[in-house]
Amino acid sequence: MNSLFDWLPELQRLGFHPGSAWWLLLLPLALLTFLPRWRRRATLVHASTEDLAAAGRSWVGRVRWLPPSLRIVGIILLIVCIARPIKANERSQVFVEGIAIQSVIDRSGSMRALDFELAGGRVDRLTAVKKVLTDFIEGDDDLMGRPDDLVGLITFAGFADTVSPLTLDHPYVIDALDKVRIATEQSEDGTAIGDAIALAVERLRELDERGDAAGRRIKSRVIVLLTDGENNAGDLDPLIAAEIASAFDVRIYAIGVGSNGVAPVPARDAFGRQVMGRQRVSIDEETLRAVADATGGKYFRATNTDSLRRIYTEIDELEKTTTEQRRYRSYRDLAVQPLSLGGLQLPPLLLIALLLLATEQLLIHTRFRTLP
């Protein structure tokens, strides 16, 4: 029974060529043509009852139905071959128009502020960003995930640095994100927003030259810029960097991160002990909004973990991947091509028909020609 059920999908793909299927109308005519001959053969009058008894006892007499049966089946298969039996082979191909998402994350010293929460406990801004961005990439309850999108990671403080190239290897990106640390040295601290945007645009522009972009259609290129401060380092003004992004059709979603007013920040007192200080939240929202507007993007403000998650959910909705599935069907002519049915390989139907007719002719001209 299992093998029969295995054959059912295969049988559903069998059919006949529409322009030749009418030949099947000859099948009843063929049966009607041979039926009277069969009856006459069965009602022949023998010269003596001894001959009839002898013929019935011989093996030839017992299989006297074989030659006409071979002929009927052979001619039926010939008619079927003329009707052009076919088997449909269907395959599908999925075309994905993905999005290239370059995440640009601020890791300057101010990201140490403890004004976000995770699992009921206070955490610094960078830790909260890591968690929400990971959920954005992988997917979570309210985030779809980006399985078909290229994702890259750039971090910046006093200078910008590529942490992960744009890739579909999302576990690699998440592992690189997990290793990002807040700048602690004075020499590397700062907020180079303009340089970070320019580097992100350059990485997105390189997609046209990279091999892993071949065969994939990039629907759009976006930068998700996340910072908690003002541009105070680097060589490039953020607005000029935004103009460069616009010239390469790169859209920027800018997110200002930080609570309103002042935020608690861990610090060291004169004795080296860790104490909790206060830091004024200073985000250049005007510049970030102008950067987003110049590129057709949008500016968001995240004052806590929940609002940051809502922002990424909205970006999820704004930047959707397009998936298109195309089906292709090819046909095998079973009259002249082998048939595979549930793992069983059958020869072409035309070959079977010719073998049956040849066997029938061989039989009637040898042993069976002595039959009364």
- Using one digit for the tens of pLDDT, what is the confidence trace for 100-115? 999 999 999 889 999 8
- Residue 89 within any structural domain of the chain: no
pLDDT tier at 276 (50, 70, 90 boundaries)?
A: confident
Averaged pLDDT of the chain? 81
Domain of 117? 94-325
Q: What are phi and psi of 170, to 5 degrees?
A: -65, -35
Q: What is the share, in percent, of the chain residues with pLDDT greater than 90?
A: 38
Co-location of 230 and 356 in the same domain: no
Q: Which of 140, 111, 144 is nearest to 128 (CA)?
A: 111
Domain count, the chain: 2
62 and 105 co-located in one domain = no
> Mean per-residue pLDDT for 75-80?
84
Give yes or no: residues 159 and 279 share one domain. Answer: yes
Confidence band of 176 (pLDDT split at 50, 70, 90)? very high
**Which sign, positive or negative, has the C-alpha torsion 4, 7, 8, 14?**
negative
Residues 244, 193 within the same domain: yes
Please tell me whether residues 161 and 297 are part of one structural domain: yes
pLDDT of 54 reads 53
Q: What is the pLDDT of residue 318?
A: 87
- Cβ proximity of 299 and 288 under 8 Å: yes
Quick check: is 330 in a domain?
no
* Residues comprising the chain, all counted: 372
Q: What is the pLDDT of residue 24?
A: 78
Structure confidence at residue 328 (pLDDT): 61
pLDDT tier at 308 (50, 70, 90 boundaries)? very high
Same domain, 296 and 348: no
Instruction: Return the sign of the alpha-carbon dihedral for residues 151, 231, 156, 194.
Output: positive
Tell which wins on pLDDT, 94 or 130. Answer: 130
Banded model confidence at residue 2, pLDDT cuts 50, 70, 90: very low
Q: Please give the residue that has the higher pLDDT: either 156 or 12.
A: 156
My answer on whether 293 and 341 are in the same domain is: no
pLDDT for 98 equals 81
pLDDT in tens, 238-250: 999 999 999 999 9
Q: Which of 44-53, 154-163, 342-351, 359-368 has the lowest mean pLDDT?
A: 44-53
Question: Which has more confidence, 203 or 54?
Answer: 203
In a domain, 54, yes or no: yes
| pLDDT over 80 (residue 224) | yes
pLDDT at 213 over 60: no
Mean per-residue pLDDT, 184-203: 93
Place of tokens 């072409």: 348
Both 243 and 268 in a single domain?
A: yes
Is pLDDT above 90 for 158? yes
Average pLDDT over residues 154-176: 94
Please report which confidence band the pLDDT of residue 141 belongs to, taking 50, 70 and 90 as the band edges: confident
Q: CA Rg, the chain, in Å?
A: 39
The pLDDT of residue 218 is above 90: no
d(CA 141, CA 315): 15
Residue 352 has pLDDT above 80, yes or no: yes
